[in-house]
Amino acid sequence: MTDRQRVTNWPTAFPITDVPAVEKLLESLTESPVERAIRIAQPDDEPVTKTEEQAIREAESDSRPPVPLEDLLAEYRMK
């Protein structure tokens, strides 16, 4: 039996109650460093400043239509 065949049979060897733990383990082995950093990052607990509040209000009140990603890529020659 090859390693791949043996590994393929492992999921049926675990009790159903262990499936969530096994799933987390397998996900942790296949996630990228960026995905891991995002998953374990602490929440931002700093208060929002007045400047940030103003920027949020301006962004939310912007009525211009969104710019298609293709246009931005072409403008900055990233295509």
What's the helix, strand, coil split of the chain in %, to 5?
Answer: 65, 0, 35
Largest CA distance in the chain: 64
DSSP state for residue 48 in the 8-state scheme: P
Report the distance separating Cα 24 and Cα 72, nearest Å: 37
Q: Which of 35, 6, 33, 11 is nearest to 23 (CA)?
A: 11
| Predicted structure pTM score | 0.38
How do residues 27-55 score in pLDDT, each as one tens digit? 888 899 998 899 899 999 999 999 999 99
Residue ranges per structural domain of the chain: 1-42
pLDDT: which is higher, 22 or 46: 46
pLDDT: which is higher, 78 or 71: 71
* Residue position matching structure tokens 């393929």: 8
User: Would you say 36 and 28 are in contact if contact means Cβ atoms under 8 Å apart?
Assistant: yes
